[in-house]
Structure 1
């Protein structure tokens, strides 16, 4: 399986995971929120918004174009911190899904 195919499957799993723990239904951010200069748009979006409207679409665009993937990806630690007050099962599921993406991108 190519890294692009593996990443596409992982992105689908992340979307399903976010949906299953009720983090997918998040309002679309205002257009100006996307202009943030901060990592993960922390000043303009909640992390689930960033995952849904920035992270997943950007990686999906790379997959669709079979373009070069980033040299590394380390989003799982931020997800873990964001979800530290969530149920352990929710945190574990989401962190695993994002960590899989981190691994695929970094190893590609």
Structure 2
């Protein structure tokens, strides 16, 4: 049961990555180490949300899965995405759908 959830989450991370690439929101070069070191939630002070997904969220989640670390109990990514993409609802529809599904996968079922 747990293994299937891990596989589903891993698949979802790949779909999120692919959607960022399809939309042209995938950077070839990483942000500066200073930008990546932000301690603010979602690094909003130094990165665009898409950059945070690519350079912080995806690698962190992959590490958690690869090393069998405990998954976060909750994910508020969709709420952030809704805010960030409020002015780009059409463009961001698929990414928001994927993030919503990710949030559901992360939240432990009762």
Q: Which runs of 4+ in 1 moved over 6 A?
A: none
Tell me the equivalent position of 1:96. Answer: 97
Tell me the equivalent position of 1:36. Answer: 38
Give the Cα separation in 2 of the matches to 1:62 and 1:90.
29
* Structure 1: tracts of 5 or more residues without a match: none
Give the Cα separation in 1 of the matches to 2:9 and 2:45.
28
Give the Cα separation in 2 of the matches to 1:59 and 1:69.
8
Alpha carbon RMSD of aligned pairs, Å?
A: 1.5
Report deviation, 1:18: 1.1
Aligned residues: 107
Measured against aligned partners, the alpha-carbon deviations of 1:15-42 in whole angstroms (never above 9, x if no partner) come to 1111111111364110011221211000
TM-score by length of 2: 0.88
* Structure 2: tracts of 5 or more residues without a match: none
